[in-house]
C-alpha cells in the first residue's frame, strides 16, 4: 500500500511540474503547424490478480509537435464479473454472476517536455465521464442494472522511441483514479496503468511518401529527419 501511494504521488507531481515548467512554450506551440492526432490505445491494469483492459479510440490536434489536445471514446474490453444484488425490472431483487460493462467519453492533453531524434517523453492528463452497468441473464433474457455515473482521472507519462523516421514503439505508465464510481467496482479500477504499442507518425509518413509535395510541407512543416 505504501509503495502504491508513493508511486501515484510521484506521478501526480511530476506531471504537474512538467506542465508548469514548460508553460512559457505553449504560446509558441499554438502558433506553429497543426497536425492530426489519432490514437488507438489499450491500457492494462491489474487488480486482485485480474488483468483489466480498457480500449480507447481518440482523435485531436497536435500543435507544433509539442502539445496534443483531443478526445475520444473508451470501453472495458475485459470480461469482469461479480456477485451482487441487483434490482430486476419487476422491482424484485436477483443475485447473479453479473457481467460488468462500462463506457465513457474522455478528453486528453499531452505535453512533450523532452524530444530528441529518436526519443520523446511527455506528460498526459486524461479526464473521462460515462456509465457503468452490470448485465445478467434471467429467463434467457439479457438484463441490465441501472447505470451508475463514473468520473475518472488518468495522469500518465508517455515514452516513445522511433525505429525509423515514421515508425516506432511507445509505452504509457500511469494511474487510474476513480473520482466517482459504483462502490462495488471502485476498488478494482483504482490501479496503476501500463500500455505498450506500435506507433505511426502519419505526418512523417506522408512527407516520406511525397517528399516534393508543397501541400504536405505546408501542412506538416519540414521533416524531422
| 80 part of a folded domain | yes
Does residue 142 belong to any structural domain of this protein?
Answer: yes
What mean pLDDT comes out for the span 21-35? 67
What's residue 153's pLDDT?
A: 92
pLDDT reported for residue 143: 62
User: What is the domain-level CATH number for residue 29?
Assistant: 2.40.160.20
Q: Quick one: average pLDDT of 188-207? A: 85
83-92, 158-167, 171-180: range with lowest mean pLDDT: 83-92
> Does residue 225 lie within any of the structural domains?
no
Residue 106, pLDDT score: 96
Domain count across the chain: 1
Cell numbers 511530476 correspond to 14
CA distances from 6 to 1, 9, 18, 53, 170 (A): 9, 5, 18, 24, 24
Name the residue with higher pLDDT: 221 or 195: 195
- Give the DSSP per-residue string, the chain: -HHHHHHHHHHHHHHHHHHHHTGGGHHHHHTS-EEEEEEEEEEEEEETTEEEEEEEEEEEEEETTTEEEEEEEEEE-S-EEEEEEEE-TTS-EEEEEEEEEEEEEEEEEEEEEEE-SSEEEEEEEEEEEEEEEEEEEETTEEEEPPPEEEEEEEEEEEEEEESSSSEEEEEEEEEEEEEE--HHHHHHH-EEEEEEEEEE-HHHHHHHH-TT-HHHHHHH-S---
Cα torsion angle, 33, 22, 9, 170, sign: positive
In a domain, 89, yes or no: yes
Assigned domain for 160 exists: yes
pLDDT band at 23 (very low <50, low <70, confident <90, very high): low
pLDDT at 96: 57
Of the pLDDT bands very low, low, confident and very high (cuts 50, 70, 90), residue 156 is very high
Segment 198-202 mean pLDDT: 85
Residue-level pLDDT at 17: 47
CA angle 138, 141, 144 (to 5 degrees): 75
Q: What is the mean pLDDT of residues 29-49?
A: 80
Distance of CA 26 to the CA centre of its chain: 22
Tell me how far apart the terminal alpha carbons of the chain are, to the nearest angstrom.
45
Higher-scoring residue by pLDDT: 70, 132: 70
Distance, in Å, from the CA atom of 208 to the CA atom of 165, rounded to the nearest integer, reads 8
Question: Which domain covers residue 158, as residue numbers?
Answer: 2-220
pTM of the model: 0.74
Higher pLDDT, residue 196 or 156: 156
| Residue 37 reports pLDDT greater than 70 | yes
pLDDT, mean over the chain: 78
Residue 58 has pLDDT above 90, yes or no: yes
pLDDT confidence of residue 10: 47
Amino acid at each position: 500500500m505504501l509503495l502504491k501511494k508513493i508511486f501515484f504521488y510521484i506521478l501526480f507531481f511530476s506531471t504537474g511540474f512538467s506542465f508548469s515548467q514548460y508553460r512559457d512554450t505553449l504560446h509558441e506551440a499554438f502558433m506553429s503547424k497543426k497536425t492530426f492526432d489519432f490514437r488507438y490505445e489499450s491500457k492494462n491494469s491489474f487488480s486482485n490478480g485480474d488483468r483489466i483492459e480498457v480500449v480507447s479510440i481518440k482523435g485531436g490536434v497536435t500543435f507544433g509537435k509539442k502539445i496534443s489536445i483531443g478526445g475520444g471514446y473508451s470501453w472495458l474490453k475485459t470480461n469482469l464479473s461479480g456477485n451482487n444484488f441487483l434490482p430486476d425490472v419487476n422491482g424484485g431483487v436477483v443475485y447473479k454472476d453479473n457481467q460488468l460493462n462500462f463506457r465513457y467519453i474522455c478528453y486528453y492533453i499531452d505535453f512533450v517536455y523532452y524530444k530528441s531524434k529518436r526519443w520523446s517523453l511527455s506528460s498526459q492528463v486524461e479526464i473521462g465521464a460515462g456509465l457503468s452497468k452490470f448485465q445478467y441473464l434471467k429467463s434467457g433474457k439479457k438484463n441490465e442494472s441501472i447505470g451508475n455515473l463514473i468520473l475518472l482521472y488518468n495522469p500518465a507519462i508517455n515514452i516513445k522511441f522511433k525505429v525509423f523516421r515514421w515508425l516506432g514503439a511507445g509505452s504509457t505508465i500511469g494511474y487510474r483514479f476513480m473520482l466517482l464510481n459504483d462502490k462495488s467496482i471502485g476498488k478494482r479500477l483504482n490501479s496503476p496503468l501500463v500500455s505498450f504499442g506500435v506507433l505511426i507518425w502519419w505526418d512523417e509518413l506522408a512527407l516520406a511518401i511525397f517528399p516534393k509535395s508543397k501541400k504536405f510541407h505546408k501542412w506538416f512543416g519540414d521533416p524531422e529527419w
